[in-house]
Structure formats: C-alpha cells, structure tokens
Structure 1
Amino acid sequence: MLLKNKANSNATNGTKWTPLMYAAYLGHTSICELLIKKGAGLNNQNQKGQTALMLAATCGHDQTVKLLIKENAEVNKQDCNGQSALHYAVSSSQSSTTEYLLSHGANPNMVDLYGMTPTLEACSNGHEKILTILMKNKGNPLITNKKGESGITLIGDSPSLLSILKQYGITVNDKKKVSVTNIIVNSRQTEIEQSKQPQNITITISEMLKAIKLEKYLPNFERNKIDMVNFFKLTDEELDEMGIKAFGPKKKLLNIIQKYQQTGIFDIIQDTTDSFGNHNQTNEGLASINAQMTNKLHECQRKLQMNEEEIREQKRIIQDQQIIISRLSASNEKFVEKLKLLNYDVSSNFLGLTDVNQKTKLQERILDCLKGYYVENSQI
C-alpha cells in the first residue's frame, strides 16, 4: 500500500537503514523483490557501511542472497571495516551462503582494515567445512594480518584444520608450527632439540606458572617441593593430591607434561628476548591470544548492538502499526454501524419514502457502498 502511494523505497532511519536492508536482514525475499522493482538501491550502505547483501549473508538467508546477486548487487563491496558479504557469512558460520557467494565471484582473500581475509576468519573460527570450501576456491591461508598472523598461526594446534591445509598443498612444519599458545620455548633456534631431559629447561616453576597464568598454584608446588626436574614426572593423581583439582588448570599442566614426555618440546608462552638467559615477563603469545579474544568480543558486541537497534526499530514499527489498526478498527465499526442503521431506517420506511423505485435505488446504493468499503479494506 505504501509503495502504491509512491512511498520512497530508499528512505532511511537514523542509522541509515533502508527498507531493503530490513527485509534482507529478516529474510523476507518477496518483500525484497517488490522493493527492488520499486527502485530500492541494491548497494546502498547504512551508517556502518553495510549493504542488504551483507545483512542477508550474516543471517544465512540464502534465497534473499540469491535474489540480490541476481539483481546485480556488488558481491565484493566493503563496509566501513573493509569487510565484504563473504566476511559476514564466514564469521557467522553460514556455509551454504559462503559457497554461493564464492560461486558468484566473492574474493576469499579480500583484506579488511585489520588484515583479516575470509580465509583467515575461517582459520580463526575453526570451522572445518567453511575452511574446506574456501580452500577449494583458492583461499590463501598464508596471507598475514596486521598482527603478522597467518592462517596456520590462527589455527593453532588443531589437527583436523591443519590436515585440511595439507590436503591443498600447504606445508606445515611441525618444528616451527605455532602452537595454541603461539610460542615455543627457545623458538628463536632454527631447530628444537628433541631432548627429554628436564635439566635442559632453564625456566623455573615460578616463571612457568606465571607464563601460563597459574601463579596462584605456586604455593602448592613449593609446599610439595616440586621443581622443573620432577614437574615432568607428575601424574593426574599427583596433581590432585597437590590440591590442583580444577579441570582447566590441571588439563593445561598435563598437556605441557605429556607433550614434553612425547616430543621433548616444552610448549608454553615465554619470551626469550635475548641470548643472555633473561626471561622477561612480556608474554607476546598471551598478548596475541588476548587481542584475538578482544577482537571477537568487540565483534559480538557490534552484532549485539546491531540486533538491539533492529529490535527497537521493529518494536517502534509494530507500535505504529497497532495504533493505525486500532484507529481503523474504531473507524470501521462506526462506519458500518451507521450504514446498518441507515439501511434499517430505509427498510422500515422511517424516512417517509413512498416511491418504491426510489427506495430500491437507495438500498442498492447503500449495498454498493458497503461492498466498495469491504473491497477497499481487503486490499490494505
């Protein structure tokens, strides 16, 4: 009805959202089609630079995505952060949307303001199916972001994800592979000695616990006189006896012990800044992990804020519609009641009509009026 009355299909609200953006975000494909026919701008951007295609992609509305692309929406258009519709689909784990965008020219290696590509996002999110789809479409996990992180770095030590990279010809050097903590003690050496002798470890128990943020357990180690020599001999039961029973901390310690026993690699976060053995406490690995988590938190907050804005806008629209419906309902009831009374008066000859033809014509006019009224209202 609004479009019939020549309403502006590109009108925006305070955050520059258009009707097409709302329809795409909610997956109302038929409404999108109608808006496009009425001249809605396919590539209009809101305050954050988002297009209707990006909003449909982030929600996985495949039919809407197909319609927008069919109508020539720009697949690789970027928002204010340099992210494309493919970034949105990958970040939201929309595998079918990702595949469709790639089949229609989406760039799997497009870099955003932070140096992140859709392929790097998939590595970071750990989504195997999406990473496989991207690799099939020439995704490059060796590109590095602004922090110098490649896809291999972002994957960490996930065997399944690393296996996907290997299937597509990416060489992963186990000796230099960045682990989940992003650093291996003595990582500046080109080769890590595969020695399992604890006396080769120069770090102390106190430094190790601080590096993995378990320093609160230092008294437990001191009380039991555990140093780095016998640390690597500890078992699950012995950690329990020492008072380290929480699953997370105990699992972290057991992982370090087991990896050292199996490979000779002492795998924790530690900064070996110079050859003089000064173990500075600037844990670059932790900073990197923290930065990744902060970025993801900010992204979640951004999406939450966007959803909250949408909910507020939808509530406002619903309230407006309820007011209009209420007014129409009241008006309808009054109008119908008046017509019924008039018809009754005519039928009862309360108006003093003596001419039968005249009365019949008046009744017909009233009936036509009623029919026209209901037909008109049924089209609203």
Structure 2
Amino acid sequence: MSVRVRFQERPGITYVPSSRSGNAPLLADIISKPMPQLYPENKYDMDACTAASIGDLEVLKKLLRINPNTMVSKNQTGWTPLLYAAYLGHNSVAAFLLDNGAQVSENVDDSTNGRWQTPLMMASACGNLNVVRLLLERGANPKMCDKEKRQAIHYAASCCQNVVVDTLLAAGCDPNAADSHGTTPVHEAAIAGHEVTFLSLLEKGGNVEQKNSKGENAAVLGCEHNRILQIISDHQAETAKQAPQAISGNRGPRSLSELLEEMELGKYSEPFKNENVDLEVFFELKEQDFKDMNIPYGPKKRMLDVIKRYKTTGVIRSDTFDSNQSSSTSPRGYSSHPEDDNGKMTDTLRSIRDLNQETKTFVMNALENLGSGDINKFVVIT
C-alpha cells in the first residue's frame, strides 16, 4: 500500500560537495551517509493469501502444518486464499485449499470478500475455466449474488468470457437474471460488444427486449456495436418466423378459423379448408392465392394486411379487431397499411390519390387523341 507524506513546509535541500572543489570525493561522501538496514529474504514469513496469489503450493503445505486455520483466514482487505487462487487461476492451489477447509458455501461471512464476491465470480471474470469447473464440482452455487445482486454469469458476460458463460448456463444460470440496476448478462454482453458471448446467451433464452432500471434494452446498450445490432435484428426476425404472436391477451390463435373469427371473417373459412390451408400456411399466402379462392377485395385486403404486419413485426396487436366494424373497413387500432402507423397516408387519402391518378391518365389520353384528330378513340363514360 502506497503512503503519501504531506510536509508542513518545504523540505530542506542538501548539496553534495563537488570533488573538484578539493573536498572529499563524491562517492566517499555518499557512503559516509547512514544507509537503511538490509534484511535477508528469509527474514519475512509469507502468509497464505500471498502464497495462494503466486501459486506457491509448498508454502501453503508448510502453513497448513503450522496452523490449519490460515487456509480460510481473511487478510486485511477481506480476501481469503481461495479468492486469490480463483482470481489468478491457480487450479491446483484452489483444489488444495478446498481439500483443507476452504468453503464454497452460501455463507457470505466464510467464502466472500467485503463486496460478497465469491471465488466463482472471481474465476468467471478472469476466464479461469478449470477453476470454474472445480468450484462447481465442489458445490459452488452459480446463482449466488454479490451486494449488487450480480451473479457469476454477470461477471463472465461483462468480461467476454464466452466459454465460462456456456459453462454457467449449463449449470443453470439465467441469461435474464437482473442485478440491482436491472442489468442482465445479455445487457453486459451487448455493452461489451462481444458477439460470441451475446449469441450464447440468446441461444439459451436471452431476452433482447428486457430493460434495465433506466428503460434501456440490449439494442440501446449495444448501440455502438454494429454487429450486436445486426444480431438483435436477425434474432427478432427469426423469432417472428417461428409462430404468430398473440391476438388477444397473451394467447395466439390456435387455428386459422379462430384467427378469422377474431377478424369477423369467419364465413370465409370454407375456401381455406377446401385448399387445406392451415394457420402456418396462411401467413405464406400471396395476393394471387386469395384471388384463386375468390375472396372478395375487402376481406382479401384485410387478410393481406395482417400477413404483411406479421412478416414485418412478428406481432399481431391485441386491439387489432373491433366487433363494431364491418369486414370492409380497417379494424380498430390497426390501419390497412402498417406504414400508416408512422403517420403516412390513410386509406381515404390513398383512394383519393388513386382516383386523381386515373383521372389524370384519362385526360392526358383524351388530349393526345384530340391532337391526332382521331375522334373514334374517345370513350364515353356514363
């Protein structure tokens, strides 16, 4: 530990006389000054924490014979020999300590430091895989928390230790476990920008939408890492393909007929049954498929809108359908076009635009025919 000395006043300056001045030579003058006392190395006794930190197993064996309690004693900073061995990756030392009284129990007074950090947390942060496996085999609890409610998997994820993350996930750790700030291992990997660790967490059920106490999800926390953002986008798209999301409450439609009933289009179930179209196939249909089944324009348009929204977002909103609306109009809370939710053109404006375009085309054709003098090309509309 370094020590700072504050002088009450500026210290004095000693000038060494030059050998050229005719005084004693410079070297002789220095030697004549009092020197600090020197001690041999064997004068100092090594403690168990120091021996564990440098991996000196022989010293630990000697200390064990002198006083077995030194294997579990804490130093002034609250660290045990096992914490040092785990932190610095001395597997054989860690095994020796565990065989001679060191604990990996859930009692924070025995096996942790002042921040309640466990040997497993220390080994996980540093990627000491062999020590991690040893501690787990000896009964270390992978879900034990420190004072900030951080588990070993938080430490491993934040330090990009993907192999350790895989080991801890296999031991039952939750990729979505939140600490006192709502931060999860998924968040830690996103912040670190380590895509391999991030992918491992997602494969075991990691939630990219879960937010911390500040309302930040993985995309926000990993915004500086383009590869993380791409993984999130790909993951969301893959999730959206797996199954339709909930239409009402938290339960999705169990069948196509149920979906059509929710849309108040149940009377159109028969054509789909005749073509052996189930719920999964329904979301792969194209406009021509609906024409071939003679589905009228209004219902066809609504069904295509639902398919488009599902393919775009993977979500069918719970307030999508309104029993007070007819089948030819857009359902409550769900515009006919997904882009309308972003403030773009409504159905009415879109119809006006199409009508104006048709009128413009007709007028241009009429002017062109007038210019050519071919009156027979006019079409009278009544």
TM bucket by the smaller chain?
0.3 to 0.5
TM-score of the superposed pair, with normalisation by structure 1:
0.44
TM-score of the superposed pair, with normalisation by structure 2:
0.44
The higher radius of gyration belongs to 2
